[in-house]
Structure 1
Amino acid sequence: MSDAIPQAVLEARYQRSFGRLAGYLPEDREAVEEWLAGLVRTAADSTQDWSTAVKRLDALIQRDGTVRQYVTEMIEQVPVNCAGPADIPQLLACLDHIGRHAPQYAPKGKRNFFPMSALFVHMMETEAGEVAFRLTEFNNALRDILKEWCDHLDSPASRTVLDKDTGWLSRDAWREFRLDDFDIPDPHDEYGGFKCFNAFFHREIKPDKRPVDPSREGIVSPNDGKVYRYAQVTSPDDRFWLKAQSYSLTDMVRGRERARPFVGGWVFQSFLSGADYHRWRSPVAGTVSRVELVPALMFSETVRPDPTAGTYSQGYQASVNTRGLVFIDSDFGKQVCVMPIGITEISSVRFAEGLQGKRVEKGTELGWFSYGGSSMCVLFENGLIDRFTVPNNDPIEGDPDGGAPIKVNARIATANL
């Protein structure tokens, strides 16, 4: 590991680290350090063979000198007074351990719901880490590990963390996450009737808690969350939103022709925290003309210093992260694209069945994120939006995390009729 860094500097860096401001990681840095030290000890004591995906990452590191160099260096560049793996075998052991366990509920301050974000938090701050998490083969190998973890979270073995004493169905969690607003399959069951952790995470909300805006001209939010920002775009290749970032319609929708209808239109981006409702819905009535999943980066941030990481980096992530594309030919005669974006271990974008070619109404479910917080973009074709009905946010000059709260199915804009 690299030389020690003053604690005050480490604390300041952690407070602007990926996920801390977004609520992914504990407010208390010492909680992360304690958790990392415990993870390394626990993983070292495991006698289990590594999972198939972890073994594949090990094989990649052994055969690919470039991957091996940057992964080695990002571990070595972590300050010596930070906890974490000391070498590649310890890193692999930690990844294997994470993939076998569902997140535990914990009170605010000490909680660590996002184990891979915590594992990588110091490595992502290093020069080598900036490169490593952009390496295609390394990123793909991490995606395979996340897929194994998601499979575990989809299995009955993962629901033990839902217990009513100290788990996600405990009294404290029930109050914090307003579980009275949600459909609990069997409130008397030990695990609430949920078949797995992910079934709990993307649980259904009671319809009366998210009524659909009834007006003809109303365009609704596809998700719960906070406004990140909305902006008008003048060309398919505009660099907008964040300075010095390649953030364009062409990058977002993967092609100039696809981007063309949205030139002169609007991009509306919002952010979902880990506690938000994670199913997303159609903002307009119309017909789904195209559905596409874009597997891409997961643990990469914008290169320039980002004092909020989890929020400033959202513009960058909309162009490079794993994301979904749902194009809707709306009843207004204009096109809308709903773009759910995966962030870190929350790269599981899942679509509702049979969307392609389907007629949808305003508020029809389009899909969900499995575990974690995420970001959502909605692109509106030129001429569709008359005005937005929620306040804009300025993540550059203002508070990047202080956007107005939005609720799924509630109006965010008025259409030109």
Structure 2
Amino acid sequence: MPYHYYAGWLPKDPADLRKWLQVELRKNRLRYGQDPETGAVTPEKARQIYASLAEPVQRLQDYIERVPEVYMWFHQMFDQVPSSDDLKVRRHIIQEVRFTMFVQITDYREIMWLINRYIGEAPSFSSGPSGYVSGVMIYGILAPFCNTVAGFSAFVDKGVNECFKQIFLTWQAYLVTSASASVLNSTEEGGWFTPEALLALDEAAGGAFRNVYVCEPGTEYWGFSSFDDFFTRAFQDGVRPVMNPDDLNIVTASCECTVDKFTYQVKKSDTFWIKGTPYSLEYMLNHDSRVDDFVGGTVFQGILSSLNYHRWHSPVSGTVVSASVVEGTYYAARLDNDTDPDVVSRSDDFISNIATRAIIFIQADSEDISLMCFIGVGLGEVSTCQIDDGLEGTHVDKGDQIGMFRFGGSSHCLVFGPQAQVNAFVEAGTDVKLNTAILGVTSSTSG
């Protein structure tokens, strides 16, 4: 049986992340001539490594060293990562919690050196818990720092996020090349079409990959031209038919996802950084003039995993009023005391207010639904939100494609106004397939 992947981006056990990072550190240190155990390097060697870095990685290191408060944060975050003993006290944990892995990264320069290698590679398949990290390796090394006060300050800094954006653009340029397709093999370790990888892909798809997705089994790379082409793969015709296509008051799943939550009576402004008050509409919707239309309404949120289908489809029939992408954060997370290292995924509601995201307003044909909004929320290095060309102003039928996550994705929200009385058909933790019915709507004035 294949390893069952939950809707998250890192393994839940810190020890699993520790094992992965130890391998990555030794690999990187051998590449750059560091001591494989301590990471020690001479000043001259450090200068040589810097000179070999990709230009946007150099830019991030330069920014850290030029701006005093950022320089301070990128030092303090190492000191603020909790030790095992701290976590035992704070969480009353009896068993050993192995967070010592995080201090094995020597300093911010070693983070730069790891990033530099990753943006020249395509994600490979890995089985078991480490399989989560293979698609978000930069997040894998940054996750522990995300859950520190200094890390939070660093990762909400506008200049830091602009540097990360340029780094990811460089990585994305590689992922659309034919060279990136080398991981789409069936014979080498880490290949996406090895028997073990196909078992995981089949499980995620709910059927044989070759029968679910458009592909060419038996040909080189199964017919995909690049890793990006594989990642944004399309379903075959007839797969994921739209449920209740003619019932305008039935809303269908716009993404393959795991249901996170339904939140009701959402406020215009709220303490979204505090657990339990996850959304502040004015920030989610980027201060749009229509925000008041949604105050007191409902938010549905679902989480995507790395093995999911990553295209978005309209949850309703209606006219696309506006569609835009908002630049935001990549690694900011809600601070907590949880031992699960996947703090950004755990903060998916929080980051819906501040992360890079696509915002698509649709005037539904259903008078009971009226104006609603789809929000595609990016996560870390997989934050490219692409809205389909020419979408704004067009009429879409329920199930029509409206965009996609390129190179990854995190989460998405459906936002409804108070006039729409939402009746949920699915519960938190439920895996839902694209175009299945997830909720029904009746008018708040009916009856």
Q: TM-score, normalised by structure 1?
A: 0.86
Shift of 1:53: 0.7
1:187 counterpart residue number: 217
Deviations 1:13-54 (A, max 9, x none): xxxxxxx97442245544433432333343342478211110
1:43 counterpart residue number: 28
In structure 2, relative to structure 1, the CA distance for the partners of 1:264 and 1:364 (3 Å cut) is same
> Could you tell me which of 137, 153, 157 is aligned with 2:159?
137
2:197 counterpart residue number: 173
Answering whether residue 228 of structure 2 is matched by residue 209 of structure 1, we say: no
Unaligned 5+ segments in structure 2 are: 33-48, 84-98, 203-208
Matches within 5 A, 1:81-120: 81-82=100-101, 84-111=104-131, 112-113=133-134, 114-120=136-142
Shift of 1:134: 1.8
Separation in structure 2 between the aligned mates of residue 297 and residue 199 of structure 1, nearest angstrom: 26
> Could you tell me which of 415, 431, 436 is aligned with 1:410?
436
SS for the counterpart of 1:291 is strand
Q: Is the 8 A contact 1:74 1:128 kept in 2?
A: yes
For 1:71, give the aligned amino acid.
Answer: F
Deviations 1:109-166 (A, max 9, x none): 3333220121112322333222221222112212221221122212211111110124
1:199 counterpart residue number: 229
Q: Is the 8 A contact 1:280 1:365 kept in 2?
A: yes
Separation in structure 2 between the aligned mates of residue 318 and residue 416 of structure 1, nearest angstrom: 26
SS for the counterpart of 2:353 is helix
In structure 2, relative to structure 1, the CA distance for the partners of 1:69 and 1:258 (3 Å cut) is same
In structure 2, relative to structure 1, the CA distance for the partners of 1:110 and 1:59 (3 Å cut) is closer
In structure 2, relative to structure 1, the CA distance for the partners of 1:202 and 1:29 (3 Å cut) is same
For 1:322, give the aligned amino acid.
Answer: T
Q: Is the 8 A contact 1:275 1:373 kept in 2?
A: no
For 1:284, give the aligned amino acid.
Answer: V
Matches within 5 A, 1:146-165: 146-165=168-187
Answering whether residue 307 of structure 2 is matched by residue 275 of structure 1, we say: yes
Shift of 1:180: 2.9
Q: Is the 8 A contact 1:332 1:384 kept in 2?
A: no
SS for the counterpart of 1:188 is coil
Answering whether residue 394 of structure 2 is matched by residue 358 of structure 1, we say: yes
Deviations 1:294-331 (A, max 9, x none): 11011111124356635541221111111110011111
> Could you tell me which of 299, 302, 314 is aligned with 2:348?
314
SS for the counterpart of 1:57 is helix
SS for the counterpart of 2:210 is helix
Separation in structure 2 between the aligned mates of residue 100 and residue 228 of structure 1, nearest angstrom: 33
Q: Is the 8 A contact 2:22 2:101 kept in 1?
A: no
In structure 2, relative to structure 1, the CA distance for the partners of 1:57 and 1:240 (3 Å cut) is closer
After superposition, the CA RMSD in angstroms is 2.5
SS for the counterpart of 1:121 is helix
More off after superposition, 313-322 vs 257-266? 257-266
Shift of 1:234: 5.4
* Matched pairs, number: 388
Separation in structure 1 between the aligned mates of residue 267 and residue 100 of structure 2, nearest angstrom: 47
Separation in structure 2 between the aligned mates of residue 244 and residue 404 of structure 1, nearest angstrom: 20
> Could you tell me which of 35, 53, 56 is aligned with 2:56?
53
Answering whether residue 53 of structure 2 is matched by residue 33 of structure 1, we say: no
More off after superposition, 144-153 vs 237-246? 237-246
Answering whether residue 438 of structure 2 is matched by residue 390 of structure 1, we say: no
For 1:407, give the aligned amino acid.
Answer: K
Deviations 1:48-79 (A, max 9, x none): 82111101112212211111111122235456
Q: Is the 8 A contact 1:385 1:413 kept in 2?
A: no
Shift of 1:184: 3.8
- Percent of residue pairs identical: 28
Separation in structure 1 between the aligned mates of residue 404 and residue 241 of structure 2, nearest angstrom: 18
2:333 counterpart residue number: 301
SS for the counterpart of 1:257 is coil
Answering whether residue 295 of structure 2 is matched by residue 285 of structure 1, we say: no
In structure 2, relative to structure 1, the CA distance for the partners of 1:185 and 1:405 (3 Å cut) is closer
Q: TM-score, normalised by structure 2?
A: 0.80
Separation in structure 2 between the aligned mates of residue 77 and residue 375 of structure 1, nearest angstrom: 28
Unaligned 5+ segments in structure 1 are: 1-19, 394-402
Separation in structure 2 between the aligned mates of residue 98 and residue 128 of structure 1, nearest angstrom: 24
Separation in structure 2 between the aligned mates of residue 365 and residue 287 of structure 1, nearest angstrom: 13
Shift of 1:256: 6.1
